[in-house]
Amino acid sequence: MAVDTPARIAIVGAGPIGLEAALYARYLGYTVDVYERGRVVEHLRRWGHVRLFTPWEQNVSPLGVRALQTQDENWRPALPGECRTGHELVERYFLPLAASDLLADCIQENVEVVGIGREGLLKADLLLDDRRIDVPFRILLRDAEGNERTETADVVLDCSGTYGSPNWLGNGGLPAVGESACEERIKYGVPDVLGGDRARYAGQRTLVVGSGYSAATTVTALARLANEAADTQVVWVTRRERHDDGVGPIVQYANDPLAERDALAQQANLLTVERSRPIEHRPQTFVDGIAFEGATAKFQVEFSGRHAGHEEFDRVVANVGYRPDLRLFEELQVHTSFASDGPMKLAAALLKQSPEEARDGKPCGPPTLVNPEPDFYVLGAKSYGRSSNFFLSTGREQIRELFTIIGDREGLNLYASH
Ligand SMILES: Cc1cc2nc3c(=O)[nH]c(=O)nc-3n(C[C@H](O)[C@H](O)[C@H](O)COP(=O)(O)OP(=O)(O)OC[C@H]3O[C@@H](n4cnc5c(N)ncnc54)[C@H](O)[C@@H]3O)c2cc1C
């Protein structure tokens, strides 16, 4: 059933997709509340030192560009080759957008969404019954001081991403024995090895675990650091030896349209075969146990697999992927995939994609955004569950598709008309 304006749309997360969705909704006249646990684009700021794979025009929306041009006549889109890192994108686009007249009033920073339910209804009430639409969503919020309150909404968009909930680094995807006790000491995410975190890694012995693009970013940066700073040692542990018939563990696509991604994968894979390499690659190896000893300030790590044994490290970086936080909607009727933890319809469609479609983050169409819970949608990186094939351009297409559903306006495309 169509949700007409003025309806109240609550958005969880002021990340890139939460902000773009809020903008689209504001243009259509909806009342919008964006709740952000940290600062605007919090996750993007955390990995902002990373070079983006995608160029400017794929990272911004026509609606956002239009809003910024209207707001400030001196604002200009980036030229080709400009705005290459996450930080540059934040400064040049997302922060001005969040501060623009259309969005500034509807964003609440330092407000965490703790849970989403329906007023007076339990998960099992009115199963697959559209009468749930008549009951507003009830959203439990918590501010930075721990104060709690509730708000209501007619539609909820969960755009809370996955970067805030990294996977465990242990064997089988479980926490390694002792990992939970020392998780505060482990770096989950991409450290700024050549920038702000340089002193933490220079001259140290670091263990990197993982074989995705985050791991590739970390090991290539550490390899550079090792060439510049004496005594920097790096052990890189991966489950697989090489991806398909490539030279190393990082996926390399044939004719990859994203040159930055291809170059990164190539560089990281070469580190596993170069003779005078500063990186020691240990494939088919797993972390079974980990402990941090306060007295020596070192990690004791227990490996199994091809390079089984016990070793000591100064730093540990876990680049083993991210997962959606399902607790936010556990009181709603949302069917998630047993493989990816993403919403089921989209997960099933993603499984059927060709390797090229997956590589390019091709969107899957409006019906795949619909959940058993009416008027509740998961967008952005979180909608892809544990898969990392999500792009900002995918998210914008999801937003366009979404508003054809909630307004019941087939063919609506504000991106084409701005
Ligand atoms: C290292 C890295 C490099 C990438 N490079 C590219 C690239 O070059 N091109 C590209 O297209 N894509 C890239 N991506 C993929 C993807 O586009 C980004 O992850 C993007 O940030 C996803 O946007 P999002 O809005 O879905 O989620 P996020 O950016 O993760 O934003 C989610 C927001 O929700 C907030 N939040 C979380 N939980 C709550 C809660 N309970 N209550 C309130 N707020 C909450 C967070 O603080 C955050 O601000 C990259 C991803 C990573 C990790």
Spatial separation of the C-alpha atoms in residues 257 and 166, rounded to whole Å: 28
158 in contact with ligand 1, CB cutoff 6 A: no
36 CB within 6 A, ligand 1:
yes
Alpha-carbon distances of 370 from 14, 81, 398, rounded to whole Å: 22, 38, 11
Q: How far apart are CA 356 and CA 360, in angstroms?
A: 6
Which regions of the chain are under pLDDT 70?
1, 5-6, 275-276, 418
Residue 3: the pLDDT is 77
The phi, psi pair for 378, rounded to 5°, reads -110, 125
Q: Which of 44, 143, 158, 160 to mutate to test the pocket of ligand 1 (most atoms within 8 A of CB)?
A: 160
Q: How far is the CA of 161 from the centre of ligand 1 (A)?
A: 5
Peptide bond into 175 cis (omega under 30): no
Q: Residue 277's pLDDT is what? A: 72
Tokens 């969005």 locate to 103
Residue whose tokens read 């169509």: 2
The span from the CA of 301 to the CA of 152, in Å, is 47
Residue 207 to residue 219: CA distance in whole angstroms: 10
- Three-state SS at 381: helix
Which residue from 158, 27, 39, 37 is spatially nearest to 98, judged by alpha carbons?
Answer: 39
Query: Strand runs (DSSP E) across 228-356, as ranges?
Result: 233-237, 279-282, 285-293, 298-305, 309-313, 315-318
| Gap between the Cα atoms of 324 and 368, Å rounded | 17
Contacting residues for 292 by C-beta, under 8 A, at least 6 apart: 181, 182, 185, 298, 299, 300
> What are the distances in angstroms from CA 8 to CA 3, 33, 398, 400?
9, 8, 19, 18
**CA dist., res. 155 & res. 316, Å (int):** 41
User: Is the CB of 38 within 6 Å of ligand 1?
Assistant: yes
- Atom 37 of ligand 1, residue of closest alpha carbon: 160
Instruction: Report the residue count for the chain.
Output: 418
Spatial neighbors of 88 by CB under 8 A, at least 6 apart, are 78, 82
Distance (Å, rounded) from C-alpha 183 to C-alpha 176? 10
Is residue 214 in contact with ligand 1, taking CB distance under 6 Å?
yes
Q: Evaluate: CB of 324 within 6 angstroms of ligand 1.
A: no
Look at ligand 1, atom 12, and give the residue with the nearest C-alpha. 391
Please give the pLDDT value at position 407.
Answer: 87
Residues 316 and 206 sit within 8 Å (Cβ to Cβ): yes
Q: Which pLDDT value is given to residue 418?
A: 66
Would you say 22 and 403 are in contact if contact means Cβ atoms under 8 Å apart?
no
> Taking a C-beta distance cutoff of 8 angstroms, is the pair 406, 3 a contact?
yes
Q: What are phi and psi of 234, to 5 degrees?
A: -135, 130
Q: State both tokens at 138.
A: 């009830």
3-state secondary structure of 46: helix
Q: Which atom of ligand 1 is nearest to the CA of 13?
A: 34
Query: Which ligand 1 atom is the nearest neighbour of the CA of 111?
Result: 43
Q: Is 264 in the pocket of ligand 1 (CB under 6 A)?
A: no
- What distance in Å separates the CA atoms of residue 130 and residue 125, rounded to the nearest whole number? 11
Residue 231 Cα, ligand 1 centroid: separation in angstroms? 35
DSSP symbols for 180-241: GGGGGGSEES---TTTTTHHHHTT-EEEEE--SHHHHHHHHHHHHHHHHSTT-EEEEE-S-S
**Ligand 1: does its nearest atom lie under 6 Å from the Cβ of 18?**
yes
Q: What is the pTM of this model?
A: 0.96
Type of residue found at 343: P
Strands (E), 232-365: 233-237, 279-282, 285-293, 298-305, 309-313, 315-318
Find out whether the beta carbon of 136 lies less than 6 Å from any atom of ligand 1: no
Contacts of 57 (CB under 8 A, 6+ apart): none
